[in-house]
Chain A
Amino acid sequence: MSELPKKTFVITRFDPDKDQVPKTQTYEIECRPDWKVLDAINFIKDEVDPTLSHRWSCRMAVCGSCGMNVNGEPKLTCKTSLAEYGDVVEIEPLANFPIVRDLVVDFESFMEKFRSVKPWIIRAKEKAPEEGTCSQSPEELEAFRHFSMCINCMLCYAACPVVANAPEFLGPAAIALGHRYNLDSRDEGAAERNEIFRGEGTIFECSYANECSEVCPKNVDPAAAINQAKLLAVLDWAKGLVLPRKGGS
């Protein structure tokens, strides 16, 4: 039987109880040609070094848990083939997030940003059951469908140069999600979200580098969402100057 090719993995390690700063550790393992990057990390964890910590779950690009920086680029490791890389593969935790341990990062700040855009359907008045459901045409669904495909993998935050410079920036996934609800025909909360979007550290911080859309594994295109949101937020502001707000003073 022919020998499997060996690859060297340079992996970031950080133990909060021992290390002041992250360091790297090198592993050399034989890799099967059909392996994804996650398969190699799991092999290292299972067979070489059980102290290595990383997140993963579904292995089919649905849960968004296994995002890491592979050779400097944010990747969903269960979707990224090892064959794309040479003999040395550097694996780091997602950039722009605090590191909890090894390849595990802290998403707390994202969860706060996520909540701040009110990612749920807001109705001025709930429909009574006897009034029927809020139906939606295929065309209305198509307006926002691809923005709802986000799996919260956070690759867009790791790729965004604005987040790197200004961590308080609301960021691509949260804005895309807020915009998704603004485009939803059943929603009546666009004015509330546009108010948030016009605040500091939100849509107008985006310099349209488009990196978020380049790295998105689900083709959500957050850069498009942010820049569409810019126009709609400005129009909403202009409308507010000449028309009274619904239910407002």
Chain B
Amino acid sequence: MARSWNPHAMQPHGPARTRTAPPQVPDRFWSAPRMRRYLLFDATGLVYLLIGFVILRAVWALGDGGEAWARVLRDYRNPLYLLFHAVTLLSVIYVGVRFFGLFPKAQPPRIGPVKPPPRPVLHALLYAAWGVVTLGLLLVLGGVIA
């Protein structure tokens, strides 16, 4: 005999829910090369925190007179400081390159009536601006521009 038709067969179940296991957090995310690059990007935050303290110390020394400032400059010749500044420079370049790569696609197709330039152009403009600002700073620091 055929089973009788159940008019409630397709209705959702009551409030009882199946017990579930808690979500599994990815435990091997660091093994993917692109995730390591992201973690490296995140780790540069620590470098900026430290360089912040270095800058604070320099500003503090400026207020303490010529002798304190000369001591700061002397310390900057220490190989550890030189290494730290090199790491900071690399961090800034790395973050800049990553940002320049991701920035173009973060632009909406239009903002009101204004359309952003094509992505390759935007990408090139960022590098051009970076180059101009870096050159300007080098000229100021080199004493060419007063």
Interface centre among B22, B32, B106, B111 (most CB of A within 10 A): B106
Are A209 and B107 interface neighbours, CB within 8 A?
A: no
Question: Contacts A72-B26, A73-B32: A221 and B21 contacting too (C-beta < 8 A)?
Answer: no
Mark interface residues in A1-23 (1 if CB within 8 Å of B CB, else 0): 00000000000101010010110
Mark interface residues in B80-120 (1 if CB within 8 Å of A CB, else 0): 00000000000000000000001001111111000000000
CB-CB under 8 A from A232, the residues of chain B are 108, 111
A38 to B35, CA, bound (A): 26
CB-CB under 8 A from A97, the residues of chain B are 23
Interface size class of B (residues with CB under 8 A): 20 to 34
Are B26 and A95 interface neighbours, CB within 8 A?
A: yes
A228 to B103, CA, bound (A): 10
Partner of B38, one of A14, A158, A209: A209
**Chain B residue with the shortest CB-CB distance to A163:** B23
A34 CB to nearest B CB, Å:
26
A99 to B26, CA, bound (A): 14
A227 to B111, CA, bound (A): 14
CB-CB under 8 A from B26, the residues of chain A are 69, 72, 95-96, 158-159, 164
Are B21 and A16 interface neighbours, CB within 8 A?
A: yes
Mark interface residues in B12-30 (1 if CB within 8 Å of A CB, else 0): 0000001111111111110
B84 CB to nearest A CB, Å:
25
Are B24 and A235 interface neighbours, CB within 8 A?
A: no
CB-CB under 8 A from B108, the residues of chain A are 183, 228, 231-232
Please, how many residues of chain A have a CB less than 8 angstroms from a CB on the other chain?
Answer: 43
A99 to B19, CA, bound (A): 9
Partner of A96, one of B25, B34, B42: B25
The answer to whether the Cβ of A62 comes within 8 Å of any Cβ in the partner chain is: no
Are A14 and B21 interface neighbours, CB within 8 A?
A: yes
The answer to whether the Cβ of A214 comes within 8 Å of any Cβ in the partner chain is: yes
The answer to whether the Cβ of B31 comes within 8 Å of any Cβ in the partner chain is: yes
The answer to whether the Cβ of A111 comes within 8 Å of any Cβ in the partner chain is: no
A232 to B110, CA, bound (A): 10
Question: Contacts A16-B21, A72-B29: A224 and B106 contacting too (C-beta < 8 A)?
Answer: yes
**Chain A residue with the shortest CB-CB distance to B25:** A164
Give chain B's interface residues, CB within 8 Å of chain A: 18-29, 31-32, 34-35, 38, 42, 102, 105-111
Nearest 9 pairs of A and B residues by beta carbon? A227-B106, A98-B20, A72-B28, A99-B21, A143-B109, A224-B105, A16-B19, A228-B108, A95-B26
Q: Mind listing 14 A-B residue pairs with CB under 8 Å?
A: A69-B24, A72-B27, A96-B23, A96-B24, A98-B21, A99-B20, A158-B26, A161-B38, A209-B35, A214-B34, A224-B105, A227-B106, A228-B106, A228-B107
